Chain A
Amino acid sequence: MTNNSLTIEQAQAKIKRRRIISVTVRYIVLIVVGIIMLYPLIWMVGATFKTNAEIFTTLNPIPKNPTLQGYKDAMESYGGNINIWKALLNTYSYVIPEVVFTVISSVLTAYGFARFKFKGHDFLFTCMMAMLFLPQVVLNVPQYIMFNKFGWVGSKLYLPLIVPTLFATETYFIFMLIQFLRNIPKEMEEAAAIDGCNSFTTLIKVIVPMLMPAIVSCALFKFMWSSNDFMGPLLYVNTPAKYPATIFVKLSMDADTGFNWNRVLAISLISILPNICVFFAAQNQFVEGISAGGVKG
């Protein structure tokens, strides 16, 4: 009823007021959710500088009496010739080869499928795509039995973790690279062929530089997944001196639960620090990579 009697100015003012309210509501939601998302992480950082008496008594992430005791304790070994630094070193001693091998083998496979016709191409391509739907949970047991027969369980060189990456076993990356390759025009390769490049030098000189953004994304994701991997080392690493950070963190929690949480949290934080750094150094690649994989091209 009153609507009919509104002047234009009043109507505009009303629209404006509404817009201000909805914008404010949006920001409030975003900020509240943001705080809920980040608070646990911020609290964790604070807790590593607190005394054990203080940790769980207050919600304030800033320590009252900052102490480095948690970090000092974190440097100590639990026995068994392993500490957090050695564990991190162990982690990267298999993560780096895994990343390199995964990238190389996935690029080769993606190139083969995307750019060549050969006998059985379509059948094998279907097999490859089907692997996207083969859950790891069915493979864990038989793979363990197989690696056990090979004598690879407890291998000092982390063979069960590294060797499969030589053979393009991460289907998701092949899929992502093929999607990317489809959007690269073939003219460049034809020109390279005329210039006398064979298919391998074309790959190195033409395809790889153009694929670089996708390759970087694959490498980053593989880095994160491998360094967070828990099941793999849990099954295949059984000498304490070879424990990676994931296993070491789990053990330190089991050993200390109940009394030494600043130490446990300090160890946990140190163990993910490299990943946090990598994420901040390359956050756009992560976001682009994940969007490219999800949105069908």
Chain B
Amino acid sequence: MTKGKSFLKANKGFLFILPWLIGFLVFKMYPFASSLFYSFTEYNLFEPGSEFHFTLQNYKDVFINENERNALIVTFKYAFMTVPLKLVFALFIAYILNFKIKGVNFFRTAYYIPSILGGSVAIAVLWKALFKGDGLIHSFFGVFGIDAPNFLSDKHWALFIICLLRVWQFGSAMVIFLAALKGVPQDLYEAASLDGATKTQQFFHVTVPLITPVIFYNLVTQLVQAFQEFNGPYIITQGGPEGSTTLMSLLIYNNAFHTWEMGKASAQAWVLFIILMALTLVAFWSQKHWVYYADEES
């Protein structure tokens, strides 16, 4: 008892982080570890004992089974369309806003609103109203006499429409870019323009190198988000048509909560997790080749 008391006296900070530590162990580490365990079993929630039937089939299936392979490919396609489009848009608009523009706050707010509301179900519903077969965008093309495809039931279009929902929400990345652009010292631009650099040259040789830490931050967070996308495809297309919008997260959800195949879903989640980790590590490792941290030099 006294030993415990003196420990706490010397380690007061421990008391403050205790709630976090409990949460870390109970709500993060235990599920994390148990998920790895389940991923090697045939666990079905409604078959007692099945969590002790060990198998490697779950992992093999991810690469052999056509549906699962398809989901992996779709997830990559989705992420590699959404993230670059979103970041380029965000940086481009932030760059323009960074000139002394009147009403900068108004524009910033206008661009930011979709990001703050975009995650909601209501906006996914709106997206469906816009892009469904006889929806608003269809009438828009009709005005010009173009017979637009039925975007959501055409397998060549559906995924792109889901991407657009996220690209439309480039506002939060833009706000981060804008804050970084404001931090670029003005005299660097003056020096560059004295040397005869055009605005485009200044952008690529002064602005971009100086904000690489923020580009890096946005890249990693957006990638992590994109690989876990669920709401858009679940609400707008239910993964269809022909599985063209069945992202991994959707497949995991269906396996776990429709057919209750917890083992299978866990393995799929782990494959997704390992891919994400690998991508994050590659990004971190590549940092030294393209990310410039000001404090390293001084």
Shortest CB–CB separation between residue B8 and chain A, in angstroms?
Answer: 9
Known A40-B130, A124-B17, A131-B28: A286·B112 in contact at CB below 8 Å: yes
Check A168/B20 contact, CB under 8 A, given A139-B32, A145-B34: yes
Shortest Cβ gap from B288 to chain A (Å): 16
Q: Are A113 and B13 in contact (CB under 8 A)?
A: yes
Name the distance in Å between A247's Cβ and chain B's nearest Cβ: 8
* Residues of chain A lying within 8 A (CB to CB) of residue B73: none
Q: When the two chains form their complex, are residues A275 and B31 in contact, meaning their CB atoms are under 8 A apart?
A: no
B35 at the interface (CB under 8 A from A): yes
Q: By the criterion CB–CB under 8 Å, are B136 and A118 in contact? A: no
Query: Known pairs A228-B119, A235-B257, A264-B125. 10 more at Cβ < 8 A?
Result: A105-B23, A111-B16, A135-B276, A137-B228, A141-B266, A143-B31, A148-B45, A168-B19, A169-B27, A291-B178
- Give the contacting residue for B121; candidates A109, A113, A268; CB below 8 A: A268
A167 to B118, CA, bound (A): 28
CB distance from B38 to the nearest CB of A (A): 7
Which residues 189-224 of B sit at the A interface, judged by CB distance below 8 A?
199, 213-214, 217-218, 224
Q: How far is the CA of A261 from the CA of B130 in the complex (A)?
A: 11
> Are B35 and A139 in contact, CB atoms less than 8 angstroms apart?
yes
Known A-B contacts A119-B11, A142-B31, A279-B113; the reply to A272 vs B38 at CB < 8 A is no
Within 8 Å by CB of B252, from A137, A174, A227, lies A137
16 contacts between A and B (CB under 8 A): A37-B113, A116-B13, A117-B13, A131-B28, A141-B269, A167-B27, A174-B20, A227-B120, A230-B231, A230-B234, A230-B235, A268-B121, A272-B117, A272-B120, A283-B112, A291-B179
Partner of B12, one of A38, A118, A138, A143: A118
A264 and B125 CA atoms in complex are apart in Å by 8
A144 to B261, CA, bound (A): 12
> Is B176 interfacial (CB-CB < 8 Å)?
yes
Chain B interfacial positions (CB closer than 8 Å to A): 10-17, 19-24, 26-28, 30-32, 34-35, 38, 45, 93, 96-97, 99, 101, 107-114, 116-117, 119-123, 125-130, 134-136, 138-140, 143, 168, 172, 175-176, 178-180, 183, 199, 213-214, 217-218, 224, 227-228, 230-231, 234-235, 248-249, 252-253, 256-257, 262, 265-266, 269-270, 272-273, 276-277, 280
Contact A141 B38 (CB under 8 A): yes
Residues of A within 8 A of B214 (CB): 294-295
Q: Which residues of A contact B22 (CB under 8 A)?
A: 167
A56 touches B136 (CB 8 A): yes
8 Å CB contacts to B: which residues of A34-55? Answer: 34, 37-38, 40-41, 43-44, 47, 55
Majority SS at the chain A contact face: helix
CB distance from A40 to the nearest CB of B (A): 6
Q: Tell me how far the C-beta of B283 lies from the nearest C-beta in chain A, rounded to whole angstroms.
A: 11
Give Cα A248 to B265, complex, Å: 26
Q: Which of A236-267 contact B (CB under 8 A)?
A: 245-247, 249-250, 253, 261, 264-265
